[in-house]
């Protein structure tokens, strides 16, 4: 599905994907981690959430934890795939280099080779794992979270997020320092600094448009605003858009660990909306900190979220017979307006639990090609092995350009979203947060709301897998009804769980 470039760039003399720059070789440590105490984490509290391990740096995410995780992840990777290379990337957070060093020490202590590519989007790691034949990958990022957080997420040899079973093996070994059936580690691995590999990922993005027959500069004539959130896409996204012919206006366009995601990016669209209107741009895109998701803004400054992107891309793929069973996979958060409009066209929408891993699993299990989340995490298996904000932005921009229509007109001719309100209630106690369904006042309030709303709306309450919050979502045809029940349910959650 993914087109792997023969070489990394268009200039001569660049390194191939499997060449090792010996002059960039870095020393690594072979540590006996059996002398360290198992991590003191309650068995009832899972370390891996919906998107890897994530938390506050210095509290949850420490160098010691990254060292342990690297070692035991390395043992699990080696047991499953044999010895080989692990691709490691990072976002711009101040803590990312520290965690990368510790993770690399653990991986090399497990006898594996590490290719550290430095600053890059999360989907770059997924792509490079699949394209180079590495046995796995790791990304150091907390996605859309604030600068003080960070995280570790892993990819299997197919470029997909590491299977649940493998995550559980790593977590069990972390807790008990035992992984049955493994041979002792003999010798240490080595670490290499491989930033030039990122260029191969950039070229692959361009090739996905070229394979559609749209020429070398399919975005020529488009004026596009990009908000890279001071994060991982700051170098790649504007360069690729410009190479494909777009005029780029860049916001928050340098890697900055102090400001990543702060009042910018896909969770704060105000500056993007203002810039699109001010510069009379055709459209704009905002990425999150690790650029695996994206939201768009049309020429009038209106938000075009993942539901709209799936709808537009789904129409295009269906018209070219590339959408099996006219089916899109999304989550329980997908808007009812989107679902009913897609069904009216004869399409099918399958809903999963929130999280791109659940969307991807449903797609792989059933052979579907397009899926994603309202938050802008979109997966199209025709072009990539993972969700990729830059890829999605390029294709949406190209669809607009090639159609000869504005994104504004696409939105006007699509569907009306049902009013939907999401309230986040902060619950610091993780056990209470994850066990919220055991709280009778909360479940009784939800049941009462569902009874009174009937078919006129729906309610979704869930614990976030990435932040210390419980999310309360209410959706209905009438905005007043949405506000009433969202406020009431959030108050009950706050009263009994905060």
Q: Give the dihedral of Cα atoms 391, 394, 396, 401; nearest 10 deg.
A: -160
318 CB burial (10 A radius; 0-12, 13-18, 19+): buried
Rounded to a whole number of angstroms, the CA Rg of the chain reads: 23
Q: Residues 114, 88: contact at Cβ < 8 Å?
A: yes
**What residue ranges in 219-332 does DSSP mark as E strands?**
223-227, 247-251, 283-287, 294-298, 303-304, 327-331
Q: Where are the alpha helices (DSSP H) in 227-305?
A: 236-243, 270-278
Give the largest CA-CA distance in the chain: 69
Distance in angstroms (rounded) separating the CA atoms of residues 8 and 132: 11
Helix axis angle for 122-132 and 197-210, nearest 10°, is: 90
Long-range contacts of 441-446 (CB under 8 A, 24+ apart): 441/492, 441/495, 441/496, 442/489, 442/492, 442/493, 442/496, 442/497, 445/488, 445/489, 445/492, 446/489
Tallying the residues shown for the chain, one arrives at: 498
Please indicate whether residue 141 is annotated as part of the active site: no
Q: How many CA atoms lie within 13 A of 256 on its CB side?
A: 14
Distance in angstroms (rounded) separating the CA atoms of residues 17 and 396: 29
Residue of 193, 168, 186 lying closest to 117 (CA atoms): 193
Sheet holding 420-426, edge to edge: 420-426, 469-476, 457-463
Give the three-class secondary structure for 129. helix
Element spanning 479, H or E: helix 479-497
Among 143, 330, 375, 386, the one annotated catalytic: 143
* Apex 72 CA angle, 160 and 173, nearest 5: 110
- Phi, psi of 447, deg, nearest 5: -60, -40
> What DSSP state is assigned to residue 125?
H
Tokens of 151: 């995280």
Q: Residues 151, 177: contact at Cβ < 8 Å?
A: no
Which residues, in sequence order, are bridge partners of residue 153? 139
Distance in angstroms (rounded) separating the CA atoms of residues 479 and 491: 18
Give the three-class secondary structure for 220. coil
- The sign of the torsion formed by the CA atoms of 34, 37, 43, 45 equals negative
Active site residues: 143
């Amino acid at each position: 599905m993914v087109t792997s470039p023969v070489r990394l760039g268009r200039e001569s003399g660049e390194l191939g994907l499997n060449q090792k720059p010996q002059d960039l070789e870095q020393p690594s440590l072979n540590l006996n981690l059996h002398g360290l105490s198992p991590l003191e984490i309650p068995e009832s509290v899972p370390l891996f959430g919906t998107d890897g391990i994530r938390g506050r740096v210095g509290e949850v995410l420490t160098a010691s934890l990254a060292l342990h995780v690297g070692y035991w992840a390395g043992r699990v990777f080696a047991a499953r795939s044999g010895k080989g290379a692990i691709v490691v990337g990072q976002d711009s957070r101040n803590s990312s280099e520290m965690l990368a060093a510790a993770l690399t020490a653990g991986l090399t202590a497990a006898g594996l080779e590490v290719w550290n590519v430095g600053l890059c989007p999360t989907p770059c790691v997924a792509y490079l794992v699949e394209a180079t034949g590495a046995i796995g990958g790791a990304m150091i990022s907390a996605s859309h979270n604030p600068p003080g957080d960070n995280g570790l997420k892993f990819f299997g040899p197919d470029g997909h997020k590491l299977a649940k079973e493998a995550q559980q093996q790593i977590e069990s070994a972390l807790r008990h320092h035992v992984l049955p059936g493994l041979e002792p580690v003999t010798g240490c691995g080595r670490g290499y600094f491989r930033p030039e590999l990122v260029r191969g990922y950039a070229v692959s993005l361009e090739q996905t448009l070229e394979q559609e027959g749209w020429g070398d500069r399919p975005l020529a004539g488009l004026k596009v605003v990009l908000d890279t959130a001071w994060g991982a896409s700051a170098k790649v996204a504007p360069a690729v858009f410009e190479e494909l012919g777009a005029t780029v206006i860049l916001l928050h366009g340098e890697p900055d660990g102090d400001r990543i995601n702060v009042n910018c990016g896909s969770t704060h669209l105000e500056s993007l909306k203002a810039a699109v209107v001010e510069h009379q741009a055709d459209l704009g895109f905002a990425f999150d900190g690790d650029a695996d998701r994206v939201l768009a803004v049309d020429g009038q400054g209106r938000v075009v979220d993942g539901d709209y992107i799936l709808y537009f891309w789904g129409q295009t793929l269906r018209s070219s017979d590339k959408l099996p069973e006219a089916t899109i996979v999304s989550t329980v958060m997908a808007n009812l307006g989107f679902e009913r409009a897609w069904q009216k066209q004869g399409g099918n929408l399958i809903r999963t639990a929130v999280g791109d891993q659940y969307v991807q699993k449903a797609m792989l299990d059933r052979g579907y090609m397009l899926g994603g989340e309202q938050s802008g995490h979109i997966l199209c298996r025709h072009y990539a092995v993972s969700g990729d904000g830059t890829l999605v932005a390029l294709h949406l921009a190209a669809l607009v350009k090639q159609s000869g229509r504005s994104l504004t007109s696409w939105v006007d001719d699509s569907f009306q979203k049902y009013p939907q309100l999401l309230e986040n209630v902060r619950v610091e106690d993780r056990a209470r947060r994850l066990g919220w369904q055991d709280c009778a006042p909360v479940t009784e309030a939800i049941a009462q709301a569902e009874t009174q709303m009937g078919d006129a709306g729906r309610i979704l309450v869930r614990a976030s897998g990435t932040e210390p919050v419980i999310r309360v979502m209410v959706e209905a045809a009438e905005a007043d009804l949405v506000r009433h029940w969202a406020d009431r349910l959030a108050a009950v959650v706050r009263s009994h769980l905060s």
